[in-house]
Chains A and B, each alone.
Chain A
């Protein structure tokens, strides 16, 4: 690598930043519609450094990095300066920028499917990128290098995979392919915008490993943009926290995590559910980020800040460091009080007291829902006119569990393992293909049409994405009242009930005649919960109810769910892929893999002493928002992706990815290959693994 030169041509001092962003601001629209998406952001990235940019949705993280890459639409007005190795990028022509993009700076997006061209093979697209920037390379040479790169990012049988089209790749593999493209030309800087947000924790852990590796191989600097503090804790060297288009805190990763100097960062850190504690309530960060269209003067965090004083509303505090930590900077007029220890973190954001103590009302642990050997297979059809069956998708393949009244069952597993199909089967309230579903002791297969309709009152659902699960064209009152319209409730009673429910979930009933788009994500999820509760159900099925929400808002919704359970004696089936959340809310946990439950037990047992190698891997893949812990932690990494549910795997279906299987001597492996493990009781949990007593992996997990 040549020594970077400054514009004047002089040799640069020891470290010249690869990227220097100075007072960058981006504005969209004009006049009344003006949105100041980025308002004066300055940061730098040194060679080989890993910078994490963290912020809630809409804080301007993406826009600021798109501005760096010159990828914003021409309607955007950009001011400030962006220097890449001393060159000013904002003054570059389009042609010059294209030369730099993909060669010296490369970018990884959240959604790799839209970043890859569907009509070319993956190998072709990587080779294309190579040829574009290296005219001397031959086609064969490029193709060979593409295969090499795919191997480097951990794609199995890369020669064959290079011939595949993007849609034939799973989400994780596509992201690996994107990384391969990104590192193809030995870039100086890689910008990754939420590269793991669309992926499962297990795959996320793999991708983060690959990114670290890619960084080490190419020596590139990395800017990782994310909303998840856990993701950057173990990888980043420095952190920049963004809020309302500004940086509000920057510093070394340890400084920011261990001694945050700004209330917003403190709130973010404290609102995260942790794998360590499960009992106490979470710390919510109330409110939502301000609208960037009309920012009031003063600190943009003021409406949500528990430390706000009158002076905060006068002028926007600048980012500044202290004498002893000049690199740790915060934009808060009271940050000195925080860093000096006058205000502790728990004083800034105190943990709220539970609304009710003790056992839930009217719960006797009676069984309210039970599944026995539930099966749902989908035929896999081929042919346009004459369809013939070429296989079976075993989406749910013999699932059994019980749910007691007032209890919460957490259903966890990677996407595609059959969680959603399981709960959809429950909600249909129809006779399953095989097995039995009982609600309140009644087999749903025996229900008459009338009784089924009646039973729908008792079992309601909350969906993952509050944007998608609420009709955007229906006023909130009608949304919440909808379940009542089915049961012939009078208009007046509907209104009373809706008002009551809105109060219950913490919304102002005065807002009943507004449309859903006027509410924030967290509020919309509350609308979804209110709708589910309006018929006074006994059972609530929650399909990833918080995974579409920002962390700061997540905490409030989880607290609400816990409170409601205590007040109303509800039973929850809680589907999630975030184990920290499940750990926090569930009494029992069922871990699903390929349509089956592989481990089932009380939350405390499963999380403190996971028995199944899959559970162990899931737990160890959860990022912990603590850089010190995260760096020393030994991970149980899973290889590859979830196999296709159409495959007929003899023996244990986890074998292809099982880390324990790899450690077993050959004679013990035999059993995994030949015999399908069924659930058996080990201590107090049920596990479907022949070698659940084996401790080889658990030792490493226990260290986390």
Chain B
């Protein structure tokens, strides 16, 4: 701490005498701290491996997700069928790889997008206050009370032919509201904090204030929500598939694999265990990386306290 003491007794001089090396920007500081966190590397490298596997896992594999090997139905994992087969001879390994692609896409789009939506809409309502706040909150509450699944069922005729992309949009639209209300409440207390007032008196634009001050100060919540949202979206998609939306046969996702494999979990565990394990690993790796990110944006958190 000697540096701190020295600083206070520095003489007051009118001009800067020495050129200093460039100060590090916030982005770089955050990244530097991330890079020093093992959790971050474990999380991201695991995710990277999973993504690469989803992309190239079938490159040197004899079967694909739709192929049926009538010679071996209901077999446990073998050298031929790495994760075994189902009752019609479908290869579980290939299905898992293909399903993973879809699930990753759904999870990693829906989780972050809904957190971002929540962040911006909540922050906007909380920061602007007054009429805007009331209108936005009214809208949020409306979305909250709407029976979301019912709407989807009503729209079914319209979206029947549509792909699972619609499900993604649907999931993103109906999952940000509660967090948005939390963020709004936090923002309205942040708004009265002196540093936000100070920015306003400097003439900083509203959008900049939200981006520079509000969002980073509520980011812990956003990051937690985004990472949890990844897993939640993957699982919700399962429910929807069950009702006949989203990913439909012969297309597969981790969700559909899991739901069809659950019944056989005790008798033919390979139908269930492999997709489930991949899902758990994905979710864990995401929250590990998310956790590291949250610590990195919070300057007062453990690692760089000295």
Is there contact, CB below 8 Å, between A503 and B24? no
B20 touches A469 (CB 8 A): no
- Contacting B at CB under 8 A, from A466-522, are 468-478, 482-483, 485-486, 495-496, 498-500, 503-513, 515-520, 522
Query: Within the complex, what minimum Cβ distance (angstroms) separates A432 from chain B?
Result: 16
Taken together as a complex, chains A and B put the C-alpha atoms of A304 and B12 apart, in Å, by 19
Please report the C-alpha to C-alpha distance between residue A287 and residue B9 in the assembled complex, in whole angstroms: 8
Q: Which residue of A lies closest to B202 (CB)?
A: A483
- Chain B residues lying within 8 Å of A456, measured Cβ to Cβ, are 201-203
B78 adjacent to chain A (CB < 8 Å): no
- Contact across chains for B16 and A513 when beta carbons are under 8 A apart: no
A531 CA to B4 CA, complexed, in Å: 19
User: Number of A interface residues, CB 8 Å?
Assistant: 63
- Stretch of B157-165, B209-217, B224-232 on the interface side: B209-217
**B residues in contact with A118, CB < 8 Å:** none
Residue of chain A at shortest CB distance from B217: A473
From A284, which residue of chain B is reached at the shortest CB distance? Answer: B8
A496 to B20, CA, bound (A): 8
In the complex, are the beta carbons of A470 and B20 less than 8 A apart? Answer: no
A148 interface hit (Cβ, 8 Å): no
Interfacial chain B residues near A343, Cβ < 8 Å: none
Digit string of A560-597 for contact with B (CB within 8 Å is 1, else 0)? Answer: 10011001000000000000000000000000000000
A452-B19 Cα distance, complex, nearest whole Å: 33
Q: When A473-B216, A473-B297, A506-B10 are in contact, do A520 and B203 touch as well, CB less than 8 Å?
A: no
CB pair B5 A567 closer than 8 Å: no
Contacting pair A496 B5 (CB below 8 A): no
Once the chains bind, are B199 and A482 in contact (CB under 8 Å)?
yes
Given A482-B202, A483-B202, A513-B20 contact (CB < 8 Å)? no
CB-based contact B23/A475 at 8 Å: yes
Across the two chains, which residue of chain B brings its CB closest to A520? B4
Q: Which residue of A lies closest to B208 (CB)?
A: A485
**Do residues B23 and A477 form an inter-chain contact, with CB atoms below 8 A?**
yes
Q: For A428, what are the chain B residues with a Cβ–Cβ distance below 8 Å?
A: 201
Minimum CB–CB distance for B259 against chain A, Å: 42
8 A Cβ contacts from B192-225 to A: 193-195, 197-199, 201-205, 208, 212-213, 216-217, 219
Determine if A288 is an interface residue (Cβ-Cβ < 8 Å).
yes
| Among A291, A478, A504, A520, contact of B14 (Cβ-Cβ < 8 Å) | A504
Query: Does B10 contact A511, Cβ atoms closer than 8 Å?
Result: no
Verify B7–A507 contact, CB threshold 8 A.
yes
B298 within 8 A of A: yes
Query: What is the distance, in angstroms, from A426's C-beta to the closest C-beta of chain B?
Result: 10
Contact of A471 among B17, B203, B208, B213 (CB under 8 A): B213
Measured CB to CB, the residues of B under 8 A from A are: 1-20, 22-26, 29, 193-195, 197-199, 201-205, 208, 212-213, 216-217, 219, 297-300, 306
Chain A interface residues (CB < 8 Å from chain B): 286-288, 290-291, 303-304, 355, 427-428, 452-453, 456, 460-461, 463-465, 468-478, 482-483, 485-486, 495-496, 498-500, 503-513, 515-520, 522-523, 531, 556, 560, 563-564, 567
A-B contact pairs, 30 of them (CB 8 A): A286-B8, A287-B4, A290-B1, A355-B12, A428-B201, A456-B201, A456-B202, A461-B198, A464-B194, A469-B195, A471-B217, A472-B300, A477-B25, A485-B208, A486-B203, A503-B16, A503-B17, A506-B7, A506-B10, A506-B12, A507-B7, A515-B299, A515-B300, A516-B299, A519-B4, A520-B8, A523-B4, A556-B8, A563-B12, A567-B14
- 6 shortest A-B CB distances, which residue pairs? A515-B299, A469-B194, A512-B23, A477-B23, A513-B24, A500-B16
